[in-house]
Structure 1
Amino acid sequence: MKLDQNVAVITGASSGIGKVIAHTFARDGAKVAICDINMDGAEKAAADIRGEGGDAMAVEMDVTSEEAVNRGVDEVAERYGRIDTMVSNAGIQIVHPIEDFPYEEFRKLVTIHLDGSFLLTKACVKHMYPRKSGSLIYMGSVHSHEASALKTAYVAAKHGILGLARTMAKEGAKHGVRSNTICPGFVKTPLVEKQIPEQAENLGISEEDVVNKIMLGETVDQEFTTMEDVAEVAVFLASFGSNALTGQSIVPSHGWYMA
């Protein structure tokens, strides 16, 4: 198995993309920490993995709290003895035209995505650096490269994550730690489903046009990226054997953005 005995910390893993990544990692042999603010969901996700014969633990983690992040990561390291892979996946989406974008909502989104990625990185490398090994994986987006209307907070945060990941490729290299970003196109998660009527109302177009023209209009085949697509890229990055692949963004987006 590609990730045999690999210890992975995954945030936002009680549902959506994070949950699918956790299950995929476990099937490939990893020991998985399901980190989430939703402990009921995290416990269930971990129990499901254990029910399939995998090894998983639930960790309560508010990624906007340095204390909570440090405590959670240390808990994982104490149980499993090390941290091999970090997947910084926790996130939300809020859309508004900028003139109506409440500042507190802008800060909330950026704090969860960008500050959360920073805090998780800081906590994980403390365990990776002494071992001279590790893989930092950040959940970016096509919006790490491309802008979209109504998403000032999300686009700014995802651009920031790309910069953080590239900086960590340079800082982590001498410690044997790789750093890469997954930048998916639109993945049909509850987060994206929620955006469809919101964008239709804000843009004054039909929900069908939001999907076909806004979300999938630049793809080569009018197809959504799947959560399984993203999870397979995460396995590839976690299991890659050298620093040859670091500081990169991989864009599973059906050709929406061609890096």
Structure 2
Amino acid sequence: MNLNGKVCIITGSASGIGKAIAERYVADGAKVAIADLRLDAAKATAEELTKNGKGEAIGVEMNVTDEAQVNAAVQQVVDHWGGVDVLVSNAGIQIVHKLENFPYDDWKKLLSIHLDGAFLTSKAVLPHMYKAGSGSVILMGSVHSKEASPLKSAYVTAKHGLLGLARVIAKEGAEHGVRANVICPGFVKTPLVEKQIPEQAKDLGITEEEVINDIMLGGTVDKEFTTVEDVAEIAHVFAAFPTNALTGQSMIVSHGWFME
């Protein structure tokens, strides 16, 4: 299985998990669009990956909650490379509050980025995949697609919703050779998670060390964070898998935090 010559769009990929996935894809010969809110960061990441990889990358500006901008960015990629073979809907944020204190605007913002973003980017790429008769849509879920945690009502709701969206895409896309799957990482030590540590310590009235050892890693088998490279390997499998035998599925990458 390889991605040599495949055209891939990865949202939120100027840094963190998205960048690691882009790096893995480019190393395998893929053509990767680094789609990010920050065009300068997207272009810088694309330049770095093109220098170091077998494939190539370009940067495109994309606010995943803006339908016109999503459509324009996807069309830019199609015009540049001729189509889209893989979408990784990775852009996301985290906001934590107890439910009774959760500001409605924050709730709507988080759900919009995770759910509307996955919907809009999938909607934009599917016609191109259908035309080609193949494609892979990968949504970035979480262990929170399977399990709940305090303070994360919006995030848990959004990540659960991605499972349903992927399953619908898998069923609708099957006749066109398009598959859809969800990656469900555990805690990955990215800036998003680093930001949560002091926030949760404050909200729960415990130390940051307790947040890490008891809340984040307490359910793992080895007290280890999942790495961005771990997630990137699963993203490669979902993108490069050659048939629809692997579709409508979710894969958990969490050091055993959640098992099924």
The TM-score bracket by the shorter chain reads: over 0.9
1:155 aligns with 2:153: no
How far is 1:168 from its partner?
0.7
Q: Partner of 2:42 in structure 1?
A: 42
Separation in 2, partners of 1:52, 1:15: 16
- In structure 2, runs of 5+ residues without a counterpart are none
Corresponding residue SS for 2:179: strand
Aligned pairs for 1:201-220 (under 5 A) are 201-220=202-221
- Please report how far the alpha carbon of residue 98 of structure 1 lies from its aligned counterpart in structure 2 after TM superposition: 1.1
Q: How many Å apart are 1:145 and its aligned residue?
A: 0.4
> 2:25 corresponds to which letter in structure 1?
F
Counting aligned pairs with the same residue, the percent is: 62
User: What is the aligned partner in structure 2 of residue 21 from structure 1?
Assistant: 21
Please name the residue that 1:221 is paired with: 222
Where 2:64 maps in the other structure, the secondary structure is coil
2:66 equivalent to 1:65: yes
Question: 1:226-245: per-residue Cα shift (whole Å, max 9, x none)?
Answer: 00000010001100010110
2:33 corresponds in structure 1 to 33
Give the 3-state SS of the residue equivalent to 2:258 in structure 1: coil
Displacement over 6 Å in runs of 4+: none
Shift of 1:130: 1.0
1:120 aligns with 2:121: yes
**What letter corresponds to residue 22 of structure 2 in structure 1?**
A
Cα distance in 2, alignment partners of residues 172 and 219 from structure 1: 35
Q: Matched residues in 1 for 2:98 and 2:128: separation?
A: 41
Show the counterpart of 1:196.
197
Give the Å deviation of 1:39: 1.1
Distance apart, 1:258 and its partner CA:
0.9
**Map 1:37-116 → 2, pairs under 5 A:** 37-53=37-53, 54-116=55-117
Q: Aligned equivalents of 2:218 and 2:35: distance in 1?
A: 34
Q: Which whole-Å deviations, capped at 9, do the CAs of 1:83-139 have from their partners, x for residues lacking one?
A: 000000000000001111110011000000000000000001010001110000000
Partner of 1:90, secondary structure, is: coil
C-alpha distance in structure 2 between counterparts of 1:153 and 1:103, whole Å: 10
Amino acid at match of 1:157: A
Q: CA RMSD in A?
A: 0.8
User: Aligned partners of 2:258 and 2:168: how far apart in 1?
Assistant: 22
User: 1:176 aligns to what?
Assistant: 177
User: Tell me, what secondary structure is at the counterpart of 1:209?
Assistant: helix
Superposed CA offset, 1:14-72 (max 9, x none):
11100111111000110000000111110110010121143111000000000000000
